[in-house]
Amino acid sequence: MPQMSDIPAGECLLCGGTLTGVHCLGHWSEYGGGGGFWFSALCQTCDIDFRLSIRNGIFATWRPDAPEASELTSIVGEDGLAALTAKFKRYATFGPKWQSFLNRRRDGDEVWRFASANGLHNGFAIVRCGLPVSGFRVLGFISAGVLP
């Protein structure tokens, strides 16, 4: 595992502040060798989680723990949010996680649907100033038609 002193300092993409609370989330191994580590940090000012990966000793850049802007598909209005909240409340795991996700919104933030190009990751994103800043992944629920 890389030494914490080797982890590059992170900067928030919105406010330019320094990311704090850097810690290792886990690691992975790849078939045929190689692998890497995931790290997490927080911009306390903006309340945004950031992720950093190190693959085969090569550092990526700090980025919000959110989908890419190119993966956003449509905005979710207040009626849609109310319907989703009612549906998620029925699930012991999703209900509290959904509420925690919504609690990260600030005035002016929007909630958008997203879908990854490979179809493996679907869900919702909080978008602030045009930048996805948080993600709520629901995997097969949307494609299976369970959610509106």
Check whether 131 has a pLDDT greater than 50.
yes
Residues 31 and 55 occupy one common structural domain = yes
Closest to 87 (Cα-Cα) out of 144, 132, 128: 144
Domain final residue pick, 64, 86, 101: 64
Residues 54 and 96 occupy one common structural domain = no
> Within its chain, how far is the Cα of 12 from the centroid?
14
Residues 52 and 79 occupy one common structural domain = no
Residues 14 and 57 occupy one common structural domain = yes
**148 in a domain, yes or no?**
no
**Residue 43 contacts by C-beta under 8 Å, 6 or more apart in sequence?**
12, 14, 15, 17, 19, 20, 50
Residues 124 and 101 occupy one common structural domain = yes
Residues 97 and 74 occupy one common structural domain = yes
Domain final residue pick, 44, 64, 84: 64
Determine the Cα–Cα distance for residues 100 and 94; give it in Å rounded to an integer. 10
Residues 81 and 53 occupy one common structural domain = no
Residues 35 and 51 occupy one common structural domain = yes
> What single DSSP character describes residue 21?
E
Determine the Cα–Cα distance for residues 77 and 52; give it in Å rounded to an integer. 31
> What single DSSP character describes residue 106?
-
Determine the Cα–Cα distance for residues 28 and 88; give it in Å rounded to an integer. 31
**30 in a domain, yes or no?**
yes
Per-residue pLDDT reduced to its tens digit, 93-130: 888 999 999 999 999 999 999 998 777 778 999 999 99
Per-residue pLDDT reduced to its tens digit, 37-79: 999 999 999 999 999 998 888 888 999 999 999 999 999 999 9
**40 in a domain, yes or no?**
yes
The model's pTM: 0.83
Write out the residue range of the structural domain in which residue 25 sits: 4-64
Q: What is the domain count for the chain?
A: 2
Residues 116 and 81 occupy one common structural domain = yes
Determine the Cα–Cα distance for residues 97 and 136; give it in Å rounded to an integer. 8
Beta bridge partners of 54: 37, 59
